[in-house]
């Protein structure tokens, strides 16, 4: 027993001497025995989970996540959108962006979110109304919104002017539901164009028939500026690409030969059913987009100069779409599309086909024999069947 106690005492003394050592406890680099909490200041940051928000035309809201490590604020001067807050402190914030109903053109706004020296641009876009409605002195007309897209312009299966196919990309735009009527032309211009044109002798115009016999310059330089003053909207003639895309049905296209069908009878006033006269608009069936008389009734001016096999060489070489093509910079003739009430269907094709390209001299007066060069060649008026419809570009910033 004595031996056991001696051993225990020796062990206890050994442990006591180890624990009472003069060596300090290692606390790293801190000689005072405390943990050093000092570190480099955190760098400012600002993150936003999206760059763009897109809304339909009705009342909608969406959430944007803003993350920052210091105070932030957001600036906007767009009265048509509301923000759940315009500033915040560090941390994650769910920012609610709400837009009001849009009864007009498509619109967009740039919002700037700032934190310290960091900024982030957030683009908010809202589609316009499906339809724009106007009334000029009792003449009502509507424009239908066409959602943009990419399509193949032209028809490689023909041997005519449209055989050069190309890929075209268009933005959203609006196009008239119908051709411009006698009533609208008269209410804008103060009269009709027929009195001074011999070819219209005996013609008794009806208000809702499409106006025709109007030169390209009369439309662009006279009618359009006066209409803009009355409705406050920038109207234009469609480009040839806009016209073909809309006539073909846009992103709802079923690939029909004519506007809305492979058969003309119920969709177009043309040679076999027109009695050689133009008819009131909206008396035939519309195409896939709700547009009337894109085939037949009167042929329609486009803004482009005509070139027989026009395409954008740079886009072709680089194999990219032509974006919003405007046509050649100059020319002799202007493009007309859609055929008229005098057009005959020929083996499933003809001027009423949505791909068919044609042209007219802008002043509508040209050599009766095709500009043969003969000194006795008389001049003829070629505009009896020529009318137009209008477009409006959709985006307003």
> Is the pTM value of this prediction over 0.75?
yes
Whose tokens are 């509301």? That residue is 82
Q: Quick one: pLDDT at residue 7?
A: 36
Long-range CB pairs of 202-207, under 8 A, 24+ apart, other chains included: 206/182, 206/280, 207/139, 207/181, 207/182, 207/183
d(CA 329, CA 380): 27
Token pair in block for residue 275: 């009695």
Q: How far is CA 103 from CA 31, 100, 293, 386, in A?
A: 73, 9, 26, 32
> For the chain, how far is it from start to end, CA to CA, in angstroms?
101
**What separation in angstroms does the CA of 185 have from each of 45, 211, 286, 341?**
59, 7, 22, 20
In this structure, how many other beta carbons lie within 10 angstroms of the beta carbon of residue 29? 6
Each residue's pLDDT expressed in tens, for the chain with a length of 397 residues:
444 433 334 333 433 444 444 444 343 444 454 545 555 666 888 999 999 999 999 888 999 999 998 899 998 889 999 999 999 888 889 999 999 999 888 899 999 999 888 999 999 989 889 999 999 999 999 999 999 999 999 886 765 666 678 899 999 999 999 999 999 999 999 999 999 899 999 999 999 999 999 999 999 999 999 999 999 999 999 999 999 999 999 999 999 999 999 999 999 999 999 999 999 999 999 999 999 999 999 999 999 999 987 767 676 666 778 999 999 999 999 999 999 999 987 665 688 999 999 999 999 999 999 888 899 999 999 999 999 999 999 876 5
**Alpha carbons 96 and 88: distance in angstroms, whole number:** 13
Q: Is 247 exposed, middle or buried (0-12, 13-18, 19+ CB in 10 A)?
A: buried
Choose among 93, 188, 126: nearest CA to 394.
126
Residue 163, pLDDT score: 65
């Amino acid at each position: 027993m004595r031996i056991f106690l001696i051993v225990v005492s020796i062990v206890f003394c050994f442990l006591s001497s180890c624990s009472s050592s003069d060596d300090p406890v290692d606390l790293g680099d801190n000689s005072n025995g405390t943990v050093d909490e000092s570190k480099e200041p955190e760098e400012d940051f600002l993150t936003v989970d999206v760059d763009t928000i897109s809304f339909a035309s009705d009342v909608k809201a969406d959430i944007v996540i803003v993350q920052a490590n210091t105070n932030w604020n957001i600036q906007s001067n767009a009265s048509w959108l509301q923000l759940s807050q315009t500033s915040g402190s560090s941390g994650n914030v769910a920012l609610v962006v709400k837009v009001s109903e849009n009864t007009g053109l498509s619109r967009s706004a740039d919002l700037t979110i700032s934190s310290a020296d960091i900024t982030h641009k957030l683009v908010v876009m809202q589609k316009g109304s499906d339809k724009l409605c106007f009334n000029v002195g009792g003449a009502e007309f509507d424009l239908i919104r066409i959602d943009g897209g990419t399509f193949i312009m032209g028809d490689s299966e023909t041997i005519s002017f449209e055989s050069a196919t190309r890929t075209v990309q268009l933005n959203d735009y609006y196009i008239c539901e119908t051709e411009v009527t006698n009533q609208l032309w008269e209410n804008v211009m103060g009269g009709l164009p027929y009195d001074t044109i011999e070819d219209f002798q005996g013609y008794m115009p009806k208000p809702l028939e499409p106006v025709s016999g109007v030169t390209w310059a009369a439309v662009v330089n006279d009618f359009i500026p006066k209409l803009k003053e009355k409705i406050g909207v920038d109207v234009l003639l469609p480009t040839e690409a806009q016209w073909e895309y809309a006539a073909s049905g846009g992103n709802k296209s079923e690939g029909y030969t004519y506007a809305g069908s492979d058969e003309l009878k119920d969709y177009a006033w043309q040679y076999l059913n027109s009695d050689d006269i133009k008819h009131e608009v909206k008396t035939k069936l519309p195409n896939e987009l709700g547009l009337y008389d894109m085939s037949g009734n009167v042929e329609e001016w486009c803004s482009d100069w005509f070139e027989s096999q026009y395409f954008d060489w740079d886009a072709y070489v680089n194999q990219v779409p032509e974006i919003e093509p405007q046509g050649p910079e100059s020319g002799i003739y202007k493009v007309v599309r859609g055929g008229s009430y005098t057009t005959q269907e020929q083996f499933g094709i003809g001027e009423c086909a949505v791909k068919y390209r044609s042209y007219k001299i802008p002043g509508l007066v040209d050599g009766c024999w095709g500009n043969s060069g003969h000194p006795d060649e008389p001049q003829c008026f070629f505009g009896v069947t020529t009318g137009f419809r209008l477009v409006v570009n959709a985006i307003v910033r």
